[in-house]
Amino acid sequence: MHASQRTILDTIGHTSLLALRSICPANGARILVKLESENPTGSMKDRMALAMIEAAEMDGRLAATGSVVEYTGGSTGVSLSLVCAVKGYPLHIVTSDAFAREKLDHMTILGAKLHIVPSDSGRMTEKLTRDMIEAARVIAAEIPGSFWTDQMNNRDQLAAYHTMAAEIWDQTNGRIDGFVQSVGTAASLRGTGEALRRYNDKIRIIAVEPAESSVLSGGETGAHKIDGIGAGYIVPLWQDDIAHSIEQVSTEEAIAMAKRLAREEGLFAGTSTGANVVAALRLADTLVPGATVVTVMCDTGMKYLSRK
């Protein structure tokens, strides 16, 4: 393929892995951050959106004349909007006023049609997640020839995260002792974790969830404000053997760390990334000096400017 024939979709993946310089564990362990903000829409979700659409194209679930439907808190919707814009599919997104305004605007600019489900005073709750899923199901049933990507149940996205694991393994030269990732659909933790374990089954895999809604840890469902994670119930792609342990991080801790990352490392990320780094520091403290923990900068903070 000539360089001139490439599309923006060819730039997805192959993101940098950066060591934190000032936000470091006391024991000399390293924390490396996968800069998924380098993807075209500024989010790791570009990987899974492309994987879901291409798998559906391959097996005929998505015809050339078809349209795409999804429910999303934002980043998946923005990524699907990018992929559908390039490939020419009409896209219907069910979302909510609970999510960052920037993400909703970004989807609209890329051509998606938005269906807004109202939230309980801007908070992420189990009821909101379930209401959005039901709305997407109804829209998909009403539009002939539509393909509902259904990210909570879609396993095609796991392959995208196997690729991310391969990148991490290469970039660390196989020197990785732990991997930390927050749980939304659980696809990124599951896909990356299972692939890393194939390389080395001693790697510690740590899940992160909001302390206010710690359902994976057996706690109560609750409301929180960490965008993109913590659906409020045990999501279908979650498996109990995915992670060695689950770290609970509060919205307050996640926001504080996101601010530190910007001011001390120059990394402007969202709250899920803040939660990841809090949990990565906790894991690093339990490992031997000189150990390497990898976590993910899920997206850019530019998606959350209106959140202050």
Annotated catalytic residue, options 34, 45, 103, 303: 45
The Cα-based distances of 122 to 21, 47, 119, 125, 172 in angstroms read 35, 28, 5, 9, 40
DSSP symbols for 266-300: ---B-HHHHHHHHHHHHHHHHSPTT-EEEEEE-BB
Residue 3 has a CB neighbour count (10 Å cut-off) of: 6
306 is catalytic: no
DSSP designation for 230: -
Helix (H), strand (E) at residue 94: strand 91-96
Annotated catalytic residue, options 79, 146, 182, 272: 272
Q: Tokens 């206010």, residue?
A: 212
45 is catalytic: yes
Q: Which residues 6+ apart lie within 8 Å of 41 measured at CB?
A: 75, 78, 79, 81, 82, 106
Catalytic center residues: 45, 272
